[in-house]
Structures are given as structure tokens and as C-alpha cells.
Structure 1
Amino acid sequence: MFLLCSSAASARVLVCTSILTFAGCAQLPSAPAVNSGVPTAAAVAQTEVFAPVNNPQDPTWRAVTIRFKTPTEYSLSAQHGTACIRAKAEGAWSFLVADVPAAFVTATQLAWRWVVPALIADADNEVAGKDDAPARVVVVFKGDRTKLDASERATMSMAKALGGVEMPYAAIQYIWAGKAAVERVIPNANTSRIKKLVVSSGSAGLNEWQSFDRNVRADFRLAFPGEEPGEIESVGLMTDTDSLGGTAEACYADVRMR
């Protein structure tokens, strides 16, 4: 588990975030009735693919919240005929995590789909205090924390003490950026151990399902030059608006690791 960073001065909480935002008035359309009897994780899982179910109530998923933060709401929904995990944040921060089974900790590829209705007008992924995101998918890597410098270890200790959530050894956040170019790697304002990698940018593709298939190990080497990726700990979904206090929505589906 981990903290995604945005600094909140009022609570003095470190929370490491990536970024993107919605214009508060835009919303995903109301979800039609969805059959909640979707297959269990055990039924979906295959020998060669880790496939968390498109349902936040499935035991594969767990919510991670932080002290002093209103949690993002994650619910079962459907968009354009696809069952999905709907996220809605109203001045909120939390994320949904699936721990990666032992058979997939050395996986190479991560695929997923998302749909976003709008960007947050004032968000800027490269500016502290404007670091909100309507959609992100996060991969957390394990590693030897004793090899990190003293300042990084101190940041991790402070974040855990204040926020109650342990920061990752290393993490990549795949984000939909409002301004930054696709494939740009954006450093986190508070720690060098979390990097944001832009996979969508601007208004192109809003309100449409977008599909991705990333080589997470190649992306790790891009984000952390000179380092080799360790085992994968978890994959997470996150929509947050705690920095600017607005409203954001997204739907996520078909997370696949192989």
C-alpha cells in the first residue's frame, strides 16, 4: 500500500498524488441497472492473467484511505454496456488496491480501460497544490528500503505517522494529464520514489472508453533511470480532488496483469 502525494498544509499530511482533474459540472451519465452477480475473482482469474473483477465489492479489491481526508466513492456501475468501477471524488482522496498474487509479481504487461467525462480546469500535474486526477492507475513495486537515502526514509516515516498509510518503495502512476504531453514522466513534488507517466492528455477521447497495454518494467526503467524493477506489490485505481476541492468522476474496467 502507499501514499500518493499532494501536500495538505492544513493537516500537515503528506499524500503522494498524480494529477488530472474534472470540471466540476461534468458528470458521467447515470448508470443503468447492473447485475451485481459478476464473476468472482477466482472465476475470472486464469493461469496466465491476473484479472481483478470490475466490482469494487469483490474481495480482490480493498480501499485505502488516509486520515483527515474525505474518501473517494467507488461503486459498481456500467458505461456504454461495460460493467465498471465508478469513482466519484468531491474534495476527496482514497484509492482502490488489488494486491498482486505471487504468480504475477514478475509480470511484464498491465492492461486496463477507463472513461473520463471531463478535465479539471485548474489542475496541473506539475504544480504542487493543483495535483488532482480524475483517473489514474498505479503500480507499486517492492524494494530494499535500507538502500534509500536518509531523506527518503524520513519522508516515508513522516507520511506513515501523519497519514496512517505506508508509502511505496517505488510507484508509477499512469495518468490522464490536462496539459502535459503523452509519455512525459513527471516527478512527485515530495518524493523521488513516485513518478507520474502521462498516457492520455487534454480533451481528446473524453466520454469514450480508452484502452491501454503497458510494459510496466520498461516504464519503470524510464521513470527510474539506472534502476531495475523489483517485484510488483499491487495495482491501484484512484480519482482524487483533495487539492483543489472540486468534483471528478471516472470509470475503470478490465485491469489485466500478465
Structure 2
Amino acid sequence: MTLPTKLLLAATMLLASAGGAQADVQLLQPFGTPGGTINAPWHLAGLPHQKQPFTRFSVVELDGRRALRVEADGAYGNLVHPLRADGAGLMLSWSWRVDEFVAASDLTTKRGDDSAVKVCVFFEMPMSNLPFVERQLLRMARAASDEPLPAATVCYVWDRTLPAGTELDNAFTHRLRYVVLRSGAPSRARWQPERRDVAADFLKLFGHESTQVPPIVGIAVGADADNTHGHSVAHVADLVLAP
């Protein structure tokens, strides 16, 4: 995919964010009930005019907990929760497990830019903070999409091979940056808890562009296997955004 396409992707991930955002949101809505529909304002978002399959999201009961099942089969897609909240002082916590990694994934390359599971935070950073070229690319993407675009996205990933603690830019755009929290598969599929200070992570990854933490305008859970045409299965549970 081209850089503009990847930037447009961010716009689709934020569909309805402007109209549906609510002030002072502290907790995310639950995903839903097993066997039922996904709760609003969670909604599926993909690429513009997407032709490949969408990542499948469903709520299941697993190991005694209610979880979001995330399956990508040569697919792309994100489950997005639009909101508007002060970016400072918030913690994002969740539990996750990976049942099957994308076999040929490699986040350091464009052709391998796939992930079995990621949890992402969208920040409304001012356009004026961006380098000139990226600012122009973002303007072009916004004009083409007619949707607001996040100028800064932090995605937490559980990667197949990259060591935990790795931080890197998305292979297509510097507007999205990864933090690898877990690496490889445990001896068996098991839940792992996470808790992140989203403001601290923003400043670590984007602090050279902004010394202030901008508002959060969305949270997403995603998986993709469209670049490698692979397959993955993961689960996410207990996703909470709170002080």
C-alpha cells in the first residue's frame, strides 16, 4: 500500500469520531455480549473501498471471561471506539492472548506489516507540529477522505519476533508508531495483563514533535494479515481507559 493509502486508513479508523465523541469519557463501553452484536459506539473500520476481507470481531466467553475474538484471514480491519478525553493522566489497561500469529509478519517492512493483535490510541495533535512533508501528505489524505485524521497514533502490539520493548515507526507512515509489549508465543495460549500510561508513551514516541499531550480521540483494537495473506487469531478482554 502507498503512504497516502495508509494515511487514509487512519481516517476510516476514526469514522464518526467528531460527531459521536463525548466529553469527559473515562471508561470505554464493553465490547458486547457473547453471541450478540458489538456494542456502540464500537464499530468496524477498514480501508477506503476495501476489497480484501475484513478482520472478524466477535464477543465470546473464554476462560471464564468475556473477550473480543479477533481473527484475520488475509484481512484488514479495526474495531474503533470514538471518544474525546484529556490525554494526560489516563491509564489504558487490558488483557490479551495470541492463539495464532501471522506466520510471515515483519513490522519492519511494508510487505510484512501485519499483526495478530494491536491496541491503538489516537491523539489529536495539531497539524502545525508535523514536519512539512508529512503535514502536506496528511492534508492530501484529509482532503481525499473528507474525514478527520489523527496526526499521532500509538499502537501496542504483541509481535511474533520483535523483542518486547521495541519501538518503531509504521513501515508506511511516521504518523503511526508501534510499541512491542510482548514477543513470541508462550508455551500455551494464556492471558497476559497490560497497563500503560498513554501520556508517557505519547511523549516518548512523539515528544520531539509535541511537548504537550493532545486529546485522545479514539481507541481501536485491530489485526491485519492483508500484506502477507496470512491468518491470525487473538483475544482481548477487560479493556479500560481510566485515570
Relative to the length of structure 1, the TM-score reads 0.76
Query: Does 2:74 match 1:91?
Result: yes
Return the offset for 1:148: 2.0
Question: What aligned pairs does 1:1-258 form with structure 2 within 5 A after superposition?
Answer: 7=1, 13-14=5-6, 49-55=26-32, 57-66=38-47, 67-68=49-50, 69-102=52-85, 105-160=87-142, 167-204=149-186, 206-226=188-208, 227-228=210-211, 229-258=213-242
Structure 1 segments unaligned to the other structure (5+ residues): 1-6, 18-46
Deviations 1:74-115 (A, max 9, x none): 11212111111111111111101112244x554421001112
Letter in 1 for 2:98: V
Separation of aligned partners in 2, 1:70 and 1:164: 24
Mean Cα deviation higher: 247-256 or 236-245: 247-256
Partner-residue secondary structure (3-state), 2:99: coil
Q: Aligned-pair RMSD on alpha carbons?
A: 2.6
Mean Cα deviation higher: 223-232 or 88-97: 223-232
Deviations 1:31-87 (A, max 9, x none): xxxxxxxxxxxxxxxx99413203261113121121234211111212111111111
Letter in 2 for 1:52: Q
The structure with more helix, counted as a fraction of residues? 2
Structure 1 residues 171, 192: CA separation in 2 closer, same or farther (over 3 Å shift)?
Answer: same
Deviations 1:91-141 (A, max 9, x none): 111101112244x55442100111211222211111221011111000011
CA contact (8 A) 1:116 1:206 kept: no
Structure 1 residues 99, 107: CA separation in 2 closer, same or farther (over 3 Å shift)?
Answer: farther
Structure 1 residues 110, 86: CA separation in 2 closer, same or farther (over 3 Å shift)?
Answer: same
Partner-residue secondary structure (3-state), 2:100: coil
Separation of aligned partners in 1, 2:192 and 2:185: 12
Letter in 1 for 2:199: R
